[in-house]
Chains A and B, each alone.
Chain A
Amino acid sequence: MSTNVQDIHEDHHHTPSGLMRWITTTNHKDIGSLYLWFSLLMFFVGGFMALIIRAELFEPGLQLVVPGFFNQMTTMHALIMIFGAVMPAFVGLANWQIPIMIGAPDMALPRLNNWSFWILPFAFTMLLSTLFFDSGGPAAGWTLYPPLSLQGGNSMPFVILSIHLLGISSILGAINVIATILNMRAPGMTLMKMPIFIWTWLITAFLLIAAMPVLAGAITMLLTDRFFGTSFFTASGGGDPVMFQHIFWFFGHPEVYILILPAFGIVSTIIPAFSRKKLFGYDSMVYATASIALLSFIVWAHHMFTVGMPLAGEIFFMLTTMLIAVPTGIKVFNWVATMWRGSMTFETPMLFALAFIILFTIGGFSGLMLAMTPADFQYHDTYFVVAHFHYVLVPGAVFAIIAAVYYWLPKWTGKMYSESLGKLHFWLTTIFVNLTFFPMHFVGLAGMPRRIPDYPVQFADFNAIASVGAFGFGLSQLLFIYILYNTLKRDVTAEDKVWDGAEGLEWTLSSPPPYHSFEKAPRVE
Chain B
Amino acid sequence: MSNYKKTYVTLSSIVVFMFFFSYMLVPLYDIFCEITGLNGKTNQERIVDLNEKPTNRFVTIKFTSTVAGAGPFDFEPLEREMVVEVGKVYTTSYILTNQSNSLKQVTASPSVVPGAEAEYFKKIECFCFTQQEINGLETKELPLQFIIDDKLSSDTNTLILSYTMFNTTDQLGAK
Name A's B-contacting residues (CB within 8 A): 108, 171, 174-175, 178-179, 182-183, 209-218, 221, 229, 232, 235-238, 240, 242-243, 246-247, 250-251, 308-310, 313
Stretch at the interface among B13-21, B137-145, B152-160: B13-21
Contacts of B38 in A (CB 8 A): 309-310, 313
- Cα distance A213–B14 in the bound complex, in angstroms: 9
**Contacting A214 at CB < 8 Å: which of B22, B39, B166?**
B22
**Hey, which chain A residues are within 8 Å of B16, CB to CB?**
213
Q: Which of B100-126 contact A (CB under 8 A)?
A: 107, 109, 115-116
Contact status B19-A213, CB under 8 Å: yes
Which residues of chain A have C-beta atoms less than 8 A from B23's C-beta? 217, 221
Asked if B8 lies at the interface with its beta carbon under 8 angstroms from chain A, I say yes
Task: Give a binary string over B163-175; 1 marks a CB under 8 Å from any A CB, 0 the rest.
Answer: 0101110010010
Q: Report which of A171, A209, A246, A308 forms a contact with B115, defined as CB distance below 8 A.
A: A308
Out of B26, B107, B168, which one reaches A243, CB within 8 Å?
Answer: B26
- Taking CB atoms and an 8 Å cut-off, the chain B residues in 3-31 that contact chain A are 3-4, 7-8, 11-12, 14-23, 25-26, 29
A235 touches B164 (CB 8 A): yes
Give the docked Cα–Cα distance between A253 and B63 (Å). 38
Question: Given A209-B11, A216-B19, does the pair A243, B4 have CB atoms closer than 8 Å?
Answer: no
Residues from chain A with a CB closer than 8 A to the CB of B8 are: 175, 179
Cross-chain contact A310 with B18 (CB below 8 angstroms): no
Contact in complex: A236, B107 (CB < 8 Å): yes
Q: How many residues of B contact A (CB 8 A)?
A: 36
Q: Inside 8 A of A246's CB, which chain B residues have their CB?
A: 25, 29
- 3 shortest interchain CB distances as A-B pairs: A217-B22, A236-B166, A213-B18
Contacts A178-B11, A209-B14, A310-B115 known; A232 to B26 CB distance under 8 Å? yes
Given A214-B22, A236-B68, A236-B167, list of 19 further CB < 8 A pairs?
Answer: A108-B4, A171-B15, A175-B8, A182-B7, A183-B3, A183-B7, A209-B14, A209-B18, A212-B18, A216-B19, A217-B19, A217-B20, A218-B22, A221-B22, A229-B174, A236-B166, A247-B26, A308-B39, A310-B116
Minimum distance in angstroms from A169 CB to a CB of chain B: 13
Chain B residues with CB under 8 A of A236: 68, 107, 109, 166-168
CA distance A271 to B53 in the complex (A): 72
Q: Are B18 and A179 in contact, CB atoms less than 8 angstroms apart?
A: no
Query: B19 contacts which chain A residues (CB < 8 A)?
Result: 213-214, 216-217
Q: Is the CB of B22 within 8 A of A209?
A: no
A233 to chain B, nearest CB (A): 10
Residue picked from B16, B25, B115, B174, most chain A C-beta under 10 Å? B25
Known contacts: A218-B22, A229-B174, A242-B39. The answer to whether A175 contacts B107 by CB under 8 A is no
Chain B residue with Cβ nearest A171: B15
Whether B29 pairs with A210 at a CB distance below 8 angstroms is no
Closest to B12 in A: A175
For B91, the chain A residues whose CB sits under 8 A away are: none
CA distance A209 to B171 in the complex (A): 37
A213 CA to B19 CA in the complex, in Å? 4
* Residues A247 and B22 in contact in the complex (CB < 8 Å), given A179-B4, A308-B115: yes
